[in-house]
Amino acid sequence: MRVPDAIATPRSQQATLWALAAGLLWGWAFGHPFGAALALAGAIAFAGLFTGHRVGDALRGGLCGLVTTGLWFRELPAIWNTYGDGGGLWLWLGLAALHALPFALAAGLSSDEHRGIAPLALSLAFVTSLLTWWPIPIDLAALLTSSPPLLWPVALLGTPLLVALLGASGAMIRAGRVEGFAAVCIWVLGGALWWALPQPAPTLPVAVVQPNTGVFEAQRPSTADRRSRELVNLLHRARAAGASIALTPETSWPHAGPPAPPLPTVIGHVVDGHNRLTGDTAFDKVHLVPLAERSFLGLGDQTFVAGQGPRILHVAGVSFAPLICFEDLLPGALREAARDSTGPLLLATNDGWLALEGAEDKHLSMSVLAAVRTQRWAVRPATSGRSAIITPRGALPLLTDTHDGDTGAVGEVHVGMIDIDRPWWAPVSAEPWLGLAALLALVARRRT
């Protein structure tokens, strides 16, 4: 097929314009109150764009991916440039390009002369599962919706089911078939029912410690003594509030050696270059952020040393699955957590430097997705917000506000209940196998 035929027809030109509009709507939506509905609308629009021309569809998928993810990561240049090396722009451009590839690949795989529904759904499912093996924050589910009531397909069979449903409904809507609108209605109603079903009552009281320290407080030796006293005072407050375990954020303790806490505690601190969480055992961050925590393609500094795992942290008889900061964006890290630990997720993070245009809420939405994908309770202590407790269905029984630590906000202790039982099903573990099944089905369909 010649490229001009794929992109020069009026129908293809119209689809390209729709691709641009869908990308704008989709990427813009996440920073706004009605973002979930707008993101779902944009995702469905994207899924219905393909015309059956492989090259043209791949170009449209890539275009939509670039626009969407460029807007999704729009804060990164400003965030990373606060470090002074200008690496944020390169990281932003690189991530936008990397995120465009899956859309282009899915579009190219799905195209056929009949514009069938099955190839689109299967190709999206396969590409999404392929991404679970990449050690970079690429996940189509993260870009589809951040609304927990719409995430119930993820809790059943992982992100492949979510994107397959998206692809099928989008293709049917584009073809003017009423079944597409019915599928979306069933999706939304199913989410409402899933959200409303009762869950077993949680049994363990934990204290979520939010020190409200400044953006770069962990790098200021002059304030270390004051911060250590304040954190110990917060731990005494946690004990007085009746918590069984206290959980502190990433790098919240300014010294290498942990304190002698008044109750069982997980301490976030830096030890010999490792970004560490210490309870009865210790865990070092495995996946380091390019440019900020490790050099990448000759850019940035090697700030930390990567740990080796396993992804498990014991404290007071509880086996937490720790993920530090942006590790909860990585499908591979979630798979490690489901494999190594039987208990709840511990999502310790330092989001103080993310208080920019709603970026901290985007990271929180990814934490919600992590809890749903692993079907576990999650505790998210953040340095200056938003700290949270998250149920396996994505509800937030505890959610704090974000504070600018440089204004001298007082530290907070919030006690909430979690469940520590191992889930009977972890969809994230099945996603690669579902992707293989989708690929085999796609190949079989091509041959027939």
Q: Which residue has the higher pLDDT, 31 or 186?
A: 186
Q: What is the mean pLDDT of residues 132-148?
A: 66
Q: Which of 114-128, 234-248, 284-298 shows the highest mean pLDDT?
A: 234-248
Angle between helix axes 117-130 and 87-110 (nearest 10 degrees) is 140
Two structure tokens written together for 374: 């692993």
Q: Given pLDDT bands bounded at 50, 70 and 90, which one contains residue 205? A: very high
Q: Given pLDDT bands bounded at 50, 70 and 90, which one contains residue 53? A: confident
- Summarised one tens digit per residue, pLDDT across range 285-301 is 998 877 677 776 666 67
Mean pLDDT is lowest, of 309-318, 350-359, 365-374, for 350-359
Q: Percent of the chain at pLDDT above 70?
A: 82
Report the alpha-carbon distance of residue 194 to residue 338 in Å, rounded: 22
Mean pLDDT is lowest, of 3-7, 155-159, 167-171, for 3-7
Q: Which residue has the higher pLDDT, 275 or 290?
A: 275
- SS3 letters for 74-97? CCHHHHHHCCCCCHHHHHHHHHHH
Residue 48 pLDDT exceeds 60: yes
| DSSP three-state, residue 203 | coil
Mean pLDDT is lowest, of 174-178, 241-245, 299-303, for 299-303
**SS percent in the chain: helix, strand, coil, step 5:** 55, 15, 35
- SS3 letters for 4-39? HHHHHCHHHHHHHHHHHHHHHHHHHHHHCCCHHHHH
Two structure tokens written together for 448: 């027939």
| Residue ranges covered by each domain of the chain | 3-197+429-447, 204-418
Mean pLDDT is lowest, of 108-117, 136-145, 264-273, 397-406, for 136-145
Q: Which residue has the higher pLDDT, 439 or 229?
A: 229
> Which residues are CB-neighbours of 154 under 8 A, at least 6 positions away?
141, 161, 162, 369, 372, 373, 427
Residue 26 pLDDT exceeds 80: no
CA nearest neighbour of 313 among 239, 241, 258: 258
pLDDT at 241 (0 to 100) = 95
CB 267 within 8 A of CB 313: no
Q: Which of 33-37, 73-77, 195-199 shows the highest mean pLDDT?
A: 195-199
Number of helices and strands (H, E) in the chain? 15, 12
Residue 73 pLDDT exceeds 80: no
Q: Given pLDDT bands bounded at 50, 70 and 90, which one contains residue 92? A: confident
Q: What is the mean pLDDT of residues 403-428?
A: 83
pLDDT at 161 (0 to 100) = 83
Q: Given pLDDT bands bounded at 50, 70 and 90, which one contains residue 1? A: very low
Give the phi and the psi of residue 56 in degrees, each rounded to 5.
-65, -40
Residue 276 pLDDT exceeds 70: yes
Alpha carbon 235 to chain centroid, angstroms:
29
pLDDT at 5 (0 to 100) = 47
Q: What is the mean pLDDT of residues 347-368?
A: 74
Report the alpha-carbon distance of residue 227 to residue 235 in Å, rounded: 12
pLDDT at 139 (0 to 100) = 64
CA distances 407 to 215, 260, 352, 386, 410, Å, are 11, 29, 12, 16, 9
Q: Which of 62-71, 159-168, 230-239 shows the highest mean pLDDT?
A: 230-239
| DSSP three-state, residue 284 | strand
Report the alpha-carbon distance of residue 190 to residue 152 in Å, rounded: 8
pLDDT at 354 (0 to 100) = 60
Mean pLDDT across the chain = 82
pLDDT at 2 (0 to 100) = 46
What CATH number does domain 204-418 carry, 1.10.287.3510, 3.30.360.10, 3.40.630.30, 3.60.110.10?
Answer: 3.60.110.10
